[in-house]
Structure 1
Amino acid sequence: MTDPWKETADNTHPVNAGNPAGRPTDDKAWKLLEKAVLAGVQEQRRSRRWGIFFKSLTFLYLFGAIFLFGSAFNTEIKGGSDAHTAVIEVRGMIADQENASADKIISALRNAFEDKGTRGVVLRINSPGGSPVQSGYIYDEIKRLRLLYPAVPVYAVITDLGASGAYYIASAADRIYADKASLVGSIGVTAASFGFVDTLEKLGIERRVYTSGEHKAFLDPFQPRKDSETEFWQSVLATTHQQFIDSVKKGRGERLKDRQHPELFSGLIWSGEQALELGLIDALGSTSMVARDVIGHSNLVDFTVEDSPFDRFAKRFGASVAEQLAIRLGLQQTQQLR
């Protein structure tokens, strides 16, 4: 059987008839060939990208393993028999699952007080505040531990910021110190949201909410605000605010000049220099100054409870994997759009 595509002696065949250059005139065949070649190139690119991705994951895994083993051998031993000043960091947002959560701060406080070498505890605060519940837990625990260990004083040192819930915690200390430029105060409670009722109407969208209670969805930003519900919510915030005020007054006592300055509880915030005049703090000073001149032991031992090296590595590793997957999926979507 004769192959119709085999070139003849005069370099012609049925498709190339009348085409002395020997080029096919069938565009469909060339397009199919071109698509096949492009598909192969794209598949090779995908393979290379996945190869790079998995190599990166392997590198991160090995790096993390080295980091974990290195941390295990270089972990600082906290506490000891030598006299020292215990330092506990209250840094960032005060909330559950955060570095400044009640669980972590309370664990650190208990470890510090129970250590036989602790001669005083310093809460080094740099926080905008956060949950009143978490702050209240820490406040109560400081008061409880002070009764159990009357010989171990607690001092709060505000660095950049000690506001709202952070000041709530600081007010439980025996004395509060800050820098002249620190920001102190913000004794108030806030709850914020948005309203999108008019936006939905302009877009022609109908909001449908089904509840088993008359006011169950009163915080829904897509429903009109009712005066009665606003008044109720304001009463909840006012109650929480009064709890905050009572705790600060109990902690600060007569040092707080609230009678002359009722604006102390308005939610305003002051510099450290102003806070000293208002009785919000007791003196200007730093952690090292308090340890050296007030407690009398300049040896600082950090009792802050932080995530383990494994937890930190897991979070970073998870974030890296998510980022790489997002990039990969984004590239794949882009290819599909093309």
Structure 2
Amino acid sequence: MNTALALPGRLFRRAPRVNIVRLQGMIAADGRGRLSDAAVAPVLERAFRAGRPRAVALVINSPGGSPVQSALIGARIRRLSEDNSVPVHAFVEDAAASGGYWIASAADDIFVDPASIVGSIGVISAGFGLHEAIGKLGIERRVHTAGRSKSQLDPFRPENPDDVERLDTLLGQMHQIFIDHVKARRGARLTGDEDVFDGRFWLGAEAVRLGLADGIGHAVPTLKARYGDKLRLRVFGPKRRFLSRFGLSLAQDALASVEEAALWARLGV
């Protein structure tokens, strides 16, 4: 009698479920199909709750971007993981570099392909100096400010050493925030090699050796090895904007593509 009562429970026991979130592209606050906290928030909210998942897997392919948006996305992932008692696994495709690695390190563990690019823990500021060019064109630059430093780093004026020193200080502070985040998330898994924080990036196996990642593995086989062959997977991702689907923002999308291409080019991809 007890066996008969127990049998239906076994027959209708559901296979474990893992929800997958794809995080693809440059990280920026302005939308245009790129990763931002506002864009991925509803996706992450659904992924951590839909179907009572055993875990959430992040499939990451990003060259980086905004440090603030990276931090916001990473903090949201941690908050949802802890509030719902759901572990998070990250799987890196082509790259999790700079802000992409910030997001990856929000996961409980990170898996990479042998050819994945991982790291680039640093901060960069880039621009152009155009003051000589406009002089040759006979153009006069006129700027009026209230506040001594309001026009700092103006690309149409010669570089000011005080402005550069101030910028270097800000970049150093931001870099330290990034380093502190990685150390807090990766802890004793890091080898202690300070080169990991100098802005360089590595391929998958070397990232594992340095403690930036936990192993070589792709999402589906790694998840099935952990949760069983009957594992159910569901993929979540940001929806494309209505206007973009009809090509009504081609100029903005073209500019975004150029900017993103420049970020990928720094990685040699």
TM range (shorter): 0.7 to 0.9
Residues 15, 231 of structure 2: 8 Å contact kept: no
Matched-pair contact (CA < 8 Å) for 1:184–1:269:
yes
1:38-79 Cα deviation digits (max 9, x unpaired): xxxxxxxxxxxxxxxxxxxxxxxxxxxxxxxxxxxxxxxxxx
Does the aligned pair in 2 maintain the 1:190–1:237 contact within 8 Å? yes
| Secondary structure at 1:118 match in 2 | coil
Match of 1:107 in 2: 42
Query: 2:16–2:231: 8 Å Cα contact kept in structure 1?
Result: no
Deviation at 1:93, TM superposition (A): 0.5
Contact 1:88 1:303 in 2 (8 A): yes
Q: Which of these residues, 225, 245, 261, is aligned with residue 293 of structure 1?
A: 225
Cα-to-partner distance string for 1:214-266 (whole Å, 9 max, x where unaligned): 11111210111111111001111111111111111111111012x2x211111
**Mapped partners of 2:79, 2:142: distance in 1:** 49
Provide the residue aligned with 1:304 in structure 2: 237
Q: Deviations over 1:286-324 (max 9, x none)?
A: 01122211243632201212126x44434x25549xxxx
Percent of aligned pairs with the same residue?
41
Q: Which amino acid aligns with 2:36?
A: S
Deviation at 1:131, TM superposition (A): 0.6
2:21 alignment partner AA = I
Contact 2:64 2:96 (C-alpha < 8 Å) held by counterparts: yes
Q: Distance in 2 between matches of 1:163 and 1:319?
A: 27
Name which of 174, 179, 199 aligns with 1:267.
199
| Structure 2: distance between partners of 1:180 and 1:284 | 7
Counterpart position of 1:215 = 149
| Structure 1 match to 2:266 | none
Q: Which has the larger radius of gyration?
A: 1
Amino acid in the other structure paired with 2:140: E
Q: What is the distance in 2 between the residues matched to 1:275 and 1:318? A: 38
Distance in 2 (alpha carbons) for counterparts of 1:205 and 1:105: 44
**Deviation by residue 1:176-215 (Cα, 9 ceiling, x = unmatched):** 0000111000000101001122223333432111111111
Amino acid aligned to 1:134: Q
Code of the aligned partner of 2:23: V
Task: Say whether 1:140 aligns with 2:75.
Answer: yes
| Aligned mates of 1:184, 1:223 — CA distance in 2 | 37
Question: Match of 1:254?
Answer: 188
> Which residue of the partner structure matches residue 245 of structure 1?
179
Q: Distance in 2 between matches of 1:295 and 1:144?
A: 23
Which residue is equivalent to 2:137?
A: 203
- 1:118 aligns with one of 33, 38, 53: 53
Cα distance in 1, alignment partners of residues 34 and 244 from structure 2: 12
Q: Distance in 2 between matches of 1:200 and 1:318?
A: 31
What one-letter code is carried by the residue in structure 1 that aligns with 2:222? V
Residue in structure 2 matched with residue 21 of structure 1 by the alignment? none
Q: Which protein has the bigger helix share?
A: 1
CA distance in 1, matches of 2:245, 2:183: 43
Letter aligned with residue 223 of structure 1: R
TM-score (norm 1): 0.66
- Structure 2 residue runs of 5 or longer lacking an equivalent are 1-13, 252-269
The superposition leaves residues 18-42 of structure 1 with CA deviations (integer Å, 9 ceiling, x where unpaired) of xxxxxxxxxxxxxxxxxxxxxxxxx
Structure 1, unmatched stretches of 5+, are: 1-80, 321-338
Counterpart residue identity of residue 40, structure 2: I
Who is 2:267 aligned against?
A: none
Which is worse superposed, 132-141 or 295-304?
295-304
| Alignment match, 2:17 | 84
1:85-122, Cα deviation, whole Å (9 max, x unpaired): 11111101111213422122222121111123311111
2:213 pairs with 1:281? yes
Between Structure 1 and Structure 2, how many residues are aligned? Answer: 235
Distance 2:166 2:248 in 1: 45
**3-state SS of 2:54 partner:** strand
Q: Which amino acid aligns with 1:298?
A: L
Range with bigger deviation, 184-193 or 90-99: 90-99
Kindly indicate whether structure 1 or structure 2 has the higher relative contact order, using CA contacts under 8 Å at least 6 residues apart.
Answer: 2
Q: In structure 2, do the counterparts of structure 1 residues 111 and 232 end up closer, same or farther at CA, with 3 Å as the change threshold?
A: same
TM-score (norm 2): 0.82
